[in-house]
Structure 1
Amino acid sequence: MDLELRHLRIVRAVADAGSVSKAASTLGLAQPALSAQLKRIERALGGTLFERDRLGARPTRLGELVLARARVLLPAAQELQDEAARFVTRPSPGFRIGATYGPVLGGLVHRLAAEHTVSTYTSWSARELASMVELGRLDYALVGACGDSGAPAGALLWDSISLDPIFVLVPERHPAAGEKEVELADLAEEQWAVTPGDACFADCFAMACARAGFTPGTIYETDVATCAHLAQVGRAVALCQATHVPEPGLVMVPLAGAPLRWRQLLGRHPAAPDATWVLSHAKQAHMDSVRRNPAYSDWLVRNPSFGTAP
């Protein structure tokens, strides 16, 4: 006999009830039928699962092992059934989109929501979002990756939305604020503010600094608003995507030679609806963010290999 989930439910029911008779009542079975089924399960597993006496049924060491596995497997199987049901029966057409911080989500939601139902989920972790798409909890994931790195590993289908340089945010009084661009080496004595994530950007930044001849000092890893604040008060130079619109009192300055680059990616479940149409809107949303940023638009004229993917 092959072990099945229903057999694990029987083991769990007996353990929870503390006796075969009470478990039979809970499961809606006759006690002799449940006892016979329990014996077949024990034969399949090769040993006794419960010690039974007038006080009830207590798991043996083998029973405790099986019960521990059952308490993990049964909820997981139920969660899978629930997710599958939601995936099949969810309203259509509709889109479930997860995103890390980036310039595309707001514009994409605005475009899609004009005609369809849209729900969103935000996380700093691209791996978490990719996992949620693989499990069917999301249709799409908008994530970022270093310019030279590949798409996150897994079974998803990935398309490139854009390739953007990383610029720096400095206060208006900073020496670099009036420059057309600044060498990374000229910022060697600065402290830094960056947004978190689980991609390889931290390593890419360290390597870019090493190529520029220095090791970066203090790095504050925090949210976007705090990065901007630290730059405003002169505590740190903030690294930002070129699509970022600077806050009052801050100036966004390109890094010479674009030593740091960031790709926007759209990952999708193989069964995601209207993939080509959604990708087109994601690219349009990125182009809109570029148009809102004159500094980046001007930079793209001189660096046409960057920007929205064709």
Structure 2
Amino acid sequence: MELELRHLRVVCAIADAGSVTKAASALGLAQPALTAQLQRIERALGGTLFERDRRGARVTPLGELVLARARVLLPAVKGLQDEATRLASAAGPQARYRIGAVNGPILGGLIRRITANHPAARVSTLASWSAAELADQVLSGRLDFVLVGACGDAPPATDTGLAWRVVAADPVFLLLPGHHELAGRDEVDLAELAGAQWVAAPGDGCFSDCHAAACARAGFTPKVLFETEVRGAIDLIESGDAVGLCQATLRPMAGLVTVPIAGAPLHWRQMLGWLPAGPAAGLAGQVWGYAIEAYLDAVRRNERYSAWLERNPDGKGPAL
């Protein structure tokens, strides 16, 4: 893992708060998610940054060095971002839409609508599994909007101060191979998968913790959790070596089926983010409307989810 600005912000937040728990609350993250982030940062730097006990987190000598550099770098980068934003604003209205997205059902339909309604606009996209990385791209002036997901009612996995607007909220479904014994069911109780091996794509939010908590409420601990990129996860599920979770709007794929979980214990929100004072802020309402239309297209393509919404009219959906 390469050290990024968001990692320096995490180190500063923990040092300022005096504990990981308080820092997690200030950043809007789950404490286990922030702890895992800190451990990854420490592995990347080759040593411990904080000594932690019941009294809090105290900075180590290595932590002091990192903090000293971070206190210089972060304000300098923020100043650069502010100057770039002012320069971009002074250049007049932009005829471009630079959009970053974490894996989801909206991006394709959103791009189609922008290009159809604004044929002269320059449109570009950037994909990443990290919502925090994409948010940093907006702050640095390299992106105008981001489409990310967030678990349940949690905020996006970033402390960057972007404006966020919910596009839609959906239950999380199971993703099973077509030959799985539960694949033909209308819904499956999570407890029926107590002995299963699980696979997930990487992410920087609290979804893995929420998944583990839902399994605990169902009376078990997930047996194995493989983490791999999306294509690898699909291959493991299709071969029958693991089961997974997916957005209810996932486009149907040969050899795989999506199955609702009884009681809908997990939810996922699609969110649009932008810089409130940035040059693209005036286009946010327009892009949000296009995103909702793209989401509704994704729902119509998925017969199983459409049927579930008819049976569960309060199961959420677009943020209209």
TM-score (norm 1): 0.72
Question: Residue 134 of structure 1: CA displacement?
Answer: 2.5
Verify: 1:112 aligned to 2:114, yes or no. Answer: yes
Question: Residue 93 of structure 1: CA displacement?
Answer: 2.2
Question: What's the counterpart of residue 262 of structure 2?
Answer: 256
Question: What's the counterpart of residue 150 of structure 2?
Answer: 145
Amino acid at match of 2:141: G
Cα distance per residue 1:234-262 (max 9 Å; x no partner): 00002111111232121111111111110
Question: Residue 145 of structure 1: CA displacement?
Answer: 0.3
**Which residue of 83, 86, 99 corresponds with 1:97?**
99
Distance 1:230 1:224 in 2: 10
Amino acid at match of 2:98: R
Distance 1:252 1:76, change over 3 A: closer
Distance 1:180 1:249 in 2: 17
Question: Residue 154 of structure 1: CA displacement?
Answer: 3.4
Distance 1:285 1:294 in 2: 16
Verify: 1:296 aligned to 2:305, yes or no. Answer: yes
Distance 1:92 1:148 in 2: 33
Question: What's the counterpart of residue 307 of structure 1?
Answer: 317
Gaps of 5+ in 2: 1-68
Distance 2:243 2:96 in 1: 41
Higher mean C-alpha deviation, range 147-156 or range 199-208: 147-156
Preserved CA contact (<8 Å) 1:230 1:238: no
Higher mean C-alpha deviation, range 270-279 or range 100-109: 270-279
Verify: 1:171 aligned to 2:177, yes or no. Answer: yes
Give the match's secondary structure for 2:164: strand
**Which residue of 271, 283, 286 corresponds with 2:295?**
286
Matches within 5 A, 1:1-40: none
Preserved CA contact (<8 Å) 2:175 2:246: yes
**Amino-acid identity (%):** 49
Preserved CA contact (<8 Å) 2:84 2:141: no
Distance 1:308 1:223 in 2: 27
Distance 1:91 1:135 in 2: 18
Verify: 1:133 aligned to 2:142, yes or no. Answer: no
Question: Residue 148 of structure 1: CA displacement?
Answer: 2.3
Verify: 1:230 aligned to 2:242, yes or no. Answer: no
Amino acid at match of 2:291: A
Distance 1:302 1:88 in 2: 52
Question: Residue 79 of structure 1: CA displacement?
Answer: 5.5
Verify: 1:192 aligned to 2:198, yes or no. Answer: yes
Give the match's secondary structure for 2:169: strand
Preserved CA contact (<8 Å) 1:169 1:246: no
Matches within 5 A, 1:214-229: 214-229=220-235
Question: Residue 288 of structure 1: CA displacement?
Answer: 0.5
Give the match's secondary structure for 1:101: coil
Give the match's secondary structure for 1:106: helix
Question: Residue 101 of structure 1: CA displacement?
Answer: 0.8
Verify: 1:265 aligned to 2:275, yes or no. Answer: no
Distance 2:247 2:201 in 1: 10
May I ask how many residue pairs the two structures share in their alignment? 242
Amino acid at match of 2:130: S
Amino acid at match of 1:107: G
Question: Residue 150 of structure 1: CA displacement?
Answer: 2.6
Give the match's secondary structure for 2:183: helix
Preserved CA contact (<8 Å) 1:104 1:285: yes
Question: What's the counterpart of residue 205 of structure 1?
Answer: 211
The RMSD of aligned alpha carbons is 2.5
Preserved CA contact (<8 Å) 1:134 1:155: no
Amino acid at match of 2:313: P
Preserved CA contact (<8 Å) 1:83 1:137: no
TM-score (norm 2): 0.69
Preserved CA contact (<8 Å) 1:241 1:262: yes
Distance 2:313 2:218 in 1: 24
Give the match's secondary structure for 1:258: coil
Preserved CA contact (<8 Å) 2:113 2:290: yes
Distance 1:109 1:90, change over 3 A: farther
Question: Residue 100 of structure 1: CA displacement?
Answer: 0.8
Distance 1:77 1:282 in 2: 29
